[in-house]
Structure 1
Amino acid sequence: MFRMVVTKMARNLNVNLCIFLIISCVDSCFIPDSIQAAVPQTVPVGHVISKVDVDNCDTKTLHLTSCDPDFTVQADGTIVTVHITMVPANGRTFSVQFQDPNGQKKNMDVYLVQNSRKVLKDGLLKRSKRRWSPLPFNIIENDAPPFPKEVDLVASDSSAAYNVYYTLSGPGVTEDPVGVFSVVKETGMLKVHRAVDREVTPQFIFQARVFDRYTNQETDLPLPITVNVEDVNDNAPTFTGQLQFTVLEQSKTGTVVGKVNAIDKDEPGTDHTKIRYSLLSGTNLFYINPETGVISTKTDTLDREVNDKHFVTVDIRDMNGALNGLSNTATATIVVGDINDNPPTFKKTSYNVSVMENQEKGLILRIPIEDKDLINTPNWNSEFIITKGNENGNFRMERDPKTNEGLIYLTKPLDYEKTKNLKLDVMARNQAELSGTNAKWVSIPVDVTVGDVDEGPEFTAPIVRFTVQENTPNDTLIGTYTAVDPETKSSAGIKYYKVSDPASWINVDESTGQLKIANTIDRESHFVVDGVYNVTMKAVDASRKTGTGTVIIQVEDMNDHVPDILSKDLVLCEKDGGEMGSVLVVAEDKDQAPFSAPFSFKLGEKHDDNWAVKPLNSTAVMLAQTKELPTGLYTVPLMVVDLQGFGSTQTVTVRICRCRNGACLAQQNSTSLGVWGILAMLLGLALLLLLCILCAFVCVTKNEKMELEDMGDSGGILLTSNIEALGDAVDSNLIIVPKSGIDRSVKGSVIDMGWAGAKDLGKMGGDLGTQQQSGSSVIVTDMQNGFSDRYNGSQYGGQNGGGQYGVDQYGGGQYASGNMTFDNTRFMKINWQTNGLFLQQKLAYLGTEEEGRYADDIIHAYGFEGVGSSAGSVGCCSDQVNQEDLDFLNTLGPKFKVLAEVCTNK
């Protein structure tokens, strides 16, 4: 069993049970300072804790009063439990207070420790080791030397059976802060070696152990030791936060100004940290709550205009303000806020100002003011109002933001003849309303004198309005516009002129001011806006002073325009399945109601019953087909009249066509020429291409001699010639152009000659060299390479491509500069057949393409070509009909006829 000797240092622990015992005893009565009792962990009701020896005391004067529900003290000093009580492992402590014979109150401490026991197997009870459960030790911070000092004694019950020694370990002993505590090994006395600061280390917890001196074996379990550092008042309170506050002037008594905040580092909850606040100055105006530090006003007479800032000294003292408490002082600044308790005042009692009549707008007077309130705030910023004399709006007032002065501006010129003097009342006020005062806004009079000026004439009215119907005859009087002298009120000597008349529609009589029509007035003119035409006039008196006025002419409308169709060229896209189409027709009338819309539409007298009119709105109709119509151009007469029945018949053109994206597809050139026309043109192009190839071949071979098979006729061979002169004339019998139609029986035609013609190619060549058709040309096309060139019919030879090939001797026999001979007729026939096959393949290829892909190259089949077409109706297979019919060659002209004769043998 361990026991702990507890000193008076443990008397400051929390008391769980307080039993107040008032004892009146005699001088021989003795009550011990403390007692210790061993109890079970759970103490039952009625258990006797201990008995206080009161045998020598006067028990008749003993009075017991229990304030704890768990324990009671009987009259004989016996302490008994009245409720089941738990005793913790570290024990339980309570105090009994009594009064000694001298009348002083004292405490007796009662310490309860657990009496633990363990049951053995044989049923006997054996006492077990108790764990160390000491009360915390206390030391005083910043204790004065000398050191070391004894704290308390730790003794173990095992010291009765063993020769023991004690050790300590942990913070304050072997850990930081090292060396604060130690223990006397032989006796167990705890010592402290230096002063401790509670604000740094308020508590130490370390471990005590007990060992046998001979075996070094522990004779008891380790015991935690707690040492509390008792606080001393070694820290003065300090201020926290700012000490600057604001309160409005004239605030009521008790208005909160602000709160002073302070802290103390000593132990909370003690008098060492209980701060009391007080004011050392400014107590006539302010008060501070001694416990909370809240500063309030003590009067309602604070005046910012007298003193706008107060400085008060605040004292803070701990120990609840006791004289031995530590203290600090600081100065708090209290700013007095402004309220608008001072209205602006004028420096003078009245003001006078002179203004000339007709004077331009501008500043005419400055009015200074004074205001005691805080500058550049709504309480100081002024506002000025003219309360009387400005009914016509001739003046306005503003504030100068820099000087706070009132500024009077003239906004409209004054007229001396109407008003020679004006008396104004000007009131000054602030942006903020007045408060805390009985004063009112003040006003002063301002006398405005108007000076006289010689003025120009004035029209009887600044603006005059006349109503005139358009197309009114010239020289018609529409009114009179005159002016008077403002001083004499007379019109004598005043002349009138136009300043502005954009369309020159009006004449002004210089002497009388009469207005007459000079030119026809047209309401639909761009000079008229919303039916109004303006003329500006000028009046000039004898002194050359002028005045201006405006004449507004309201132009009345006449029905002088008929409805007109806006777009007369319309497009109607052809629809599939025989569906009837329609187009929109819109009309416009420059007149206004009731001389314009709604319009009436109907077909003209000479319409063809192919169209019908369907109303859409007041200005438009739909022109719709009544029957299926082929593509083409159609004219439709339409009669359009306005609401009054005035109108005319107009013709619109409707184009029916195949469309793409709302637009007609491009027309094909091939349909206008016909298939045989295209073939004829391609034939000529192929022949010219052949000639170009031959010329290129001759240039390449240069002087090499080539023998060509002569088929018995050398008339088609070209001869080498340096002659650049004209060729031989062509026999007139070779050029026969039928006057009408084509007849195979006509002698001299190409068909009649059976493509034989004249074999005298020299004559043909001579004819080619002439310029019988000025400006004519032949297109030579390379069908494989897409190359084309144009040769002028009058200069087929010459220097083309660098060579010299005279066509004046086309039938001579030598084709180029070299010696070449060949059967011209056979060569041309072979090329004719080759090109014919190529053209047939080309036509077949193009016929397989989509309609829109090669719109310029494809031959389309149409069932109807329209009225008047020279080609007539073209069927889907017309390009294969009459392939042997060559009558069209008779209409190709003399040059194509010569080519045909060249390319044809007998």
Structure 2
Amino acid sequence: MTIYQFLLLFLLWVCLPHFCSPEIMFRRTSMPQKRILGARVPRSDGKILHRQKRGWMWNQFFLLEEYTGSDYQYVGKLHSDQDKGDGSLKYILSGDGAGTLFIIDEKTGDIHATRRIDREEKAFYTLRAQAINRRTLRPVEPESEFVIKIHDINDNEPTFPEEIYTASVPEMSVVGTSVVQVTATDADDPSYGNSARVIYSILQGQPYFSVEPETGIIRTALPNMNRENREQYQVVIQAKDMGGQMGGLSGTTTVNITLTDVNDNPPHFPQNTIHLRVLESSPVGTSIGSVKATDADTGKNAEVEYRIIDGDGTDMFDIRTEKDTQEGIITVKKPLDYESRRLYTLKVEAENTHVDPRFYYLGPFKDTAIVKISIEDVDEPPVFSRSSYLFEVHEDIEVGTIIGTVMARDPDSTSSPIRFSLDRHTDLDRIFNIHSGNGSLYTSKPLDRELSQWHNLTVIAAEINNPKEMTRVAVFVRILDVNDNAPQFAVFYDTFVCENARPGQLIQTISAVDKDDPLGGQKFFFSLAAVNPNFTVQDNEDNTARILTRKNGFSRHEISTYLLPVVISDNDYPIQSSTGTLTIRVCACDSQGNMQSCSAEALLLPAGLSTGALVAILLCIIILLVIVVLFAALKRQRKKEPLILSKEDIRDNIVSYNDEGGGEEDTQAFDIGTLRNPAAIEEKKLRRDIIPETLFIPRRTPTAPDNTDVRDFINERLKEHDLDPTAPPYDSLATYAYEGNDSIAESLSSLESGTTDGDQNYDYLREWGPRFNKLAEMYGGGESDKDS
């Protein structure tokens, strides 16, 4: 504690109790708070006002903070004018801190503070006091309120909200440029003394920066501070209370100040002359090297734009600025040729893109350098005289005709002979060929414009000494048209003429097409090959023609179809023509000329029936026929019953059995060999249940002359079998030519010849035996044809 603080506390200790007594306060208060008993105040209306005299005599108490004494700190004394000093009254204290922080002597009214008080925690306390009768405990005075105000002492130093501040200021700023403001706060009472009055000063950072004592604003103190020389500064600022006087408390903070960049430095090439090399074969756009100018500035202040401002290679080279690296990239602008020129010189300029007008006095913010570019020789491929070739040729030229010549040379100083060839991938049909020595193209097959009007070829030129060095060029061959195709009908015409046609009636309009393409366009002429009495052709002179009738009426019954030859010719040289034949059908038409029917069979149909009606009738007839056939088949199938015959009922030339067999594959159902001549049976018979190894072709006998009696007999027998319900479901005819050995009757056979029955009649065998033999020869083919 300083001597000034000690003296201040001593004065407050001595004088404050007297100032805080109720009597003194009563004397110092402009509005006394003392109760006046029985006072009368007249009013203007004549009435008397009575004022009560107050018994309390105080306004507020003052207490010094941070008391360090050993006893309780005396605050003040409460006293009522009704207190006679006999101890009959009792003083009671309530409110902020009453009973804990502040205590009162209930007999004397003295108030004391029980502990040290900090004004920064609470600047004043509001309490209420009351005097009551100790015996009756009834108040003798109304409860009143008073304030205890804490007097401040300088017990808090100034503090900054930030321990470290960060600030920046542009380099090259003038003296006095504001950088940043720092502000310190003091917790002491600013309205009482100088405890909270703060003064700022700079402890570190001179002579570059200064601070304003009252505001704490830091400013530059040196002119033209250069970031390139020093970028970072650390400044220490002190804040001191008591107006900066001796004994005041203080606090400090650190401010880190950075000089920001301004464009105060021009770009600079590290070398005045730069050498680059490039191959003459480098294509356009190739990067051949870079140049770079350095700049002491940073950011956008260091951005540089490069350009070529002079030199003999301004039309051959170009330069572009690479933003990321701040380099100037030199590229090829036009094709290079070592044989034409071997060295180019460029003058390149680098200039800042963002220039600060404040620093124009420093000079131009640009720099220049000389760039020398050397061209290096390479073995170049041949070069054609043109980038592409176009040849036109007529399609009727002879095979082997030269259609054009391509030319190429070796651009190198040591010229090499050139060999030409044709890329066969562009001429798969091998229609063209080329002379390898002189590059002349000629045809190797006939040309046809109608098949292909254009041919796109590729010719290759390669050095003989170095075949890897080759160049390709496109050759376009256009085939010119020659009138070598005759016109033809444009479409197939389905033409008809009505039976009731009149002379001059239009039945068809025809047109033609031609594969050729003459320069003046197509022009066709139509005429008849010969005079036709039925039809004529009228040329419309617009590449179409009309077919007209020449007579009155046509008849399908007489002629159903006419053939009309029409000659079509073109107008080009040489003139080509062809004959097209129109097929004209004769049809029945209605009164409006609409075709109804063109077939000759329609003449037999009743008149007036339409085609749809005729089709419906025909479908009905077909359906009825199908139904009848199915019904007959079903009825016939129901009539089929197993043939049951008695073994004794055996007739001539009828073999009956109750087995329908298994078809032509079933060879065991019936063996006709039992009816053969025993003398004609082979010694070794083939099995009939397997397929024979050798196919025997049956022998055919000459057909016998027609016999009317036999035919009539057979027809009658067939009718009887058809009407017989017990007949087998097939026609069976067993033929044999053997009548038996030593038979006097010479009959065909006798199934009962061995019996003794004398009633058997053999006369019919004598009469019909020879006829059946002839019938067998006519229809069966002889004895060997067992299957007939």
Please give the range of the TM-score, normalised by the shorter of the 2 chains. Answer: 0.5 to 0.7
Secondary structure of 2:622's counterpart equals helix
1:747-766 to structure 2, matched below 5 A, reads: 758-760=722-724, 765-766=729-730
In structure 2, relative to structure 1, the CA distance for the partners of 1:401 and 1:123 (3 Å cut) is closer
2:270–2:294 Cα contact (<8 Å) kept: yes
1:132–1:222 Cα contact (<8 Å) kept: no
Residue 383 (structure 2) pairs with residue 458 (structure 1)? yes
Structure 1 residue 419: deviation in Å? 0.8
Structure 1 residue 426: deviation in Å? 3.0
Provide, for residues 291-330 of structure 1, a one-character-per-residue CA deviation record: whole Å limited to 9, x for no partner.
Answer: 3222222333111111110111111122333333211112
Secondary structure of 1:372's counterpart equals coil
C-alpha distance in structure 2 between counterparts of 1:525 and 1:167, whole Å = 132
Provide, for residues 803-837 of structure 1, a one-character-per-residue CA deviation record: whole Å limited to 9, x for no partner.
Answer: xxxxxxxxxxxxxxxxxxxxxxxxxxxxxxxxxxx
Structure 1 residue 123: deviation in Å? 6.8
Structure 1 residue 187: deviation in Å? 2.0
Correspondence for 1:321 among 238, 241, 244: 244
In structure 2, relative to structure 1, the CA distance for the partners of 1:9 and 1:672 (3 Å cut) is farther
Structure 1 residue 354: deviation in Å? 3.9
Structure 1 residue 279: deviation in Å? 1.4
Residue 435 (structure 2) pairs with residue 509 (structure 1)? yes
In structure 2, relative to structure 1, the CA distance for the partners of 1:35 and 1:200 (3 Å cut) is closer
2:267–2:304 Cα contact (<8 Å) kept: yes
C-alpha distance in structure 2 between counterparts of 1:694 and 1:215, whole Å = 153
In structure 2, relative to structure 1, the CA distance for the partners of 1:127 and 1:513 (3 Å cut) is same
C-alpha distance in structure 2 between counterparts of 1:641 and 1:223, whole Å = 140
2:408–2:461 Cα contact (<8 Å) kept: no
Correspondence for 2:231 among 308, 318, 325: 308
C-alpha distance in structure 2 between counterparts of 1:343 and 1:567, whole Å = 88
C-alpha distance in structure 2 between counterparts of 1:588 and 1:203, whole Å = 122
Provide, for residues 702-740 of structure 1, a one-character-per-residue CA deviation record: whole Å limited to 9, x for no partner.
Answer: xxxxxxxxxxxxxxxxx9857313599xxxxxxxxxxxx
2:169–2:260 Cα contact (<8 Å) kept: yes
2:25–2:58 Cα contact (<8 Å) kept: no
C-alpha distance in structure 2 between counterparts of 1:266 and 1:689, whole Å = 135
Secondary structure of 2:374's counterpart equals strand
Secondary structure of 1:261's counterpart equals coil
Partner of 2:648: none
Secondary structure of 2:140's counterpart equals coil
Correspondence for 2:182 among 260, 276, 279: 260
Q: CA RMSD in A?
A: 5.7
Partner of 1:855: none
Provide, for residues 472-500 of structure 1, a one-character-per-residue CA deviation record: whole Å limited to 9, x for no partner.
Answer: 7766655432123335698x953332236
Secondary structure of 2:224's counterpart equals coil
Q: Which moved more, 1:553-562 or 1:181-190?
A: 553-562
1:167–1:209 Cα contact (<8 Å) kept: yes
Partner of 1:494: 418
C-alpha distance in structure 2 between counterparts of 1:213 and 1:144, whole Å = 35
Partner of 1:192: 113
Q: Please tell me the residue identity of whatever aligns with 1:313.
A: V
Q: Please tell me the residue identity of whatever aligns with 1:323.
A: M
Provide, for residues 350-382 of structure 1, a one-character-per-residue CA deviation record: whole Å limited to 9, x for no partner.
Answer: 2334444325786654656544334xx344465
Partner of 2:363: 438
Partner of 2:757: none
In structure 2, relative to structure 1, the CA distance for the partners of 1:466 and 1:204 (3 Å cut) is farther
Partner of 2:546: 605
C-alpha distance in structure 1 between counterparts of 2:630 and 2:637, whole Å = 11
Q: Please tell me the residue identity of whatever aligns with 1:167.
A: I
In structure 2, relative to structure 1, the CA distance for the partners of 1:194 and 1:591 (3 Å cut) is farther
C-alpha distance in structure 1 between counterparts of 2:17 and 2:491, whole Å = 120
C-alpha distance in structure 2 between counterparts of 1:153 and 1:432, whole Å = 80
Secondary structure of 2:146's counterpart equals strand
C-alpha distance in structure 2 between counterparts of 1:307 and 1:255, whole Å = 18
C-alpha distance in structure 2 between counterparts of 1:249 and 1:502, whole Å = 75
1:459–1:547 Cα contact (<8 Å) kept: no
C-alpha distance in structure 1 between counterparts of 2:548 and 2:41, whole Å = 136
Given the two structures, how large is their TM-score scaled by the length of structure 1?
A: 0.50
Structure 1 residue 184: deviation in Å? 1.4
C-alpha distance in structure 2 between counterparts of 1:346 and 1:330, whole Å = 45
Q: Please tell me the residue identity of whatever aligns with 1:494.
A: I
Partner of 1:110: 30
Q: Which moved more, 1:516-525 or 1:293-302?
A: 516-525
Correspondence for 1:208 among 129, 134, 139: 129
Q: Which moved more, 1:144-153 or 1:352-361?
A: 352-361
Partner of 2:83: 159
In structure 2, relative to structure 1, the CA distance for the partners of 1:209 and 1:196 (3 Å cut) is same
In structure 2, relative to structure 1, the CA distance for the partners of 1:412 and 1:118 (3 Å cut) is same
Residue 619 (structure 2) pairs with residue 674 (structure 1)? yes
1:647-658 to structure 2, matched below 5 A, reads: none
Residue 158 (structure 2) pairs with residue 217 (structure 1)? no
In structure 2, relative to structure 1, the CA distance for the partners of 1:155 and 1:482 (3 Å cut) is same
Structure 1 residue 447: deviation in Å? 1.9
Structure 1 residue 244: deviation in Å? 0.9
Partner of 1:275: 198
2:392–2:480 Cα contact (<8 Å) kept: no
C-alpha distance in structure 1 between counterparts of 2:417 and 2:370, whole Å = 43
Residue 409 (structure 2) pairs with residue 484 (structure 1)? yes
1:495–1:539 Cα contact (<8 Å) kept: yes
C-alpha distance in structure 1 between counterparts of 2:292 and 2:33, whole Å = 93
Structure number with greater Rg is 2
In structure 2, relative to structure 1, the CA distance for the partners of 1:558 and 1:327 (3 Å cut) is farther
Given the two structures, how large is their TM-score scaled by the length of structure 2?
A: 0.56
1:492-891 to structure 2, matched below 5 A, reads: 493-499=417-423, 501-502=426-427, 506-516=432-442, 533=456, 535-541=458-464, 544=467, 546-553=469-476, 555=478, 605=546, 674-678=619-623, 680-681=625-626, 721=659, 723-725=661-663, 758-760=722-724, 765-766=729-730
Correspondence for 1:427 among 349, 354, 370: 349
Residue 281 (structure 2) pairs with residue 358 (structure 1)? yes
In structure 2, relative to structure 1, the CA distance for the partners of 1:536 and 1:397 (3 Å cut) is farther
1:537–1:551 Cα contact (<8 Å) kept: no
Secondary structure of 1:157's counterpart equals coil
Q: Please tell me the residue identity of whatever aligns with 1:149.
A: Q
Correspondence for 2:168 among 221, 243, 246: 246
1:477–1:515 Cα contact (<8 Å) kept: yes
C-alpha distance in structure 2 between counterparts of 1:226 and 1:693, whole Å = 142
In structure 1, runs of 5+ residues without a counterpart are 1-6, 13-31, 37-107, 570-586, 609-639, 657-666, 699-718, 729-755, 769-906
Structure 1 residue 172: deviation in Å? 0.7
Of all paired residues, the percent bearing the same amino acid is 25
Structure 1 residue 545: deviation in Å? 6.8
Structure 1 residue 258: deviation in Å? 1.7
1:383–1:430 Cα contact (<8 Å) kept: yes
C-alpha distance in structure 2 between counterparts of 1:434 and 1:421, whole Å = 39
1:494–1:539 Cα contact (<8 Å) kept: yes
Q: Please tell me the residue identity of whatever aligns with 1:284.
A: P
C-alpha distance in structure 2 between counterparts of 1:344 and 1:564, whole Å = 84
Partner of 1:102: none
Q: Please tell me the residue identity of whatever aligns with 1:417.
A: E
1:273–1:318 Cα contact (<8 Å) kept: yes
Secondary structure of 1:155's counterpart equals coil
Structure 1 residue 214: deviation in Å? 1.9
1:198–1:230 Cα contact (<8 Å) kept: yes
In structure 2, relative to structure 1, the CA distance for the partners of 1:279 and 1:760 (3 Å cut) is farther
C-alpha distance in structure 1 between counterparts of 2:156 and 2:724, whole Å = 147
Residue 329 (structure 2) pairs with residue 391 (structure 1)? no
2:240–2:250 Cα contact (<8 Å) kept: yes
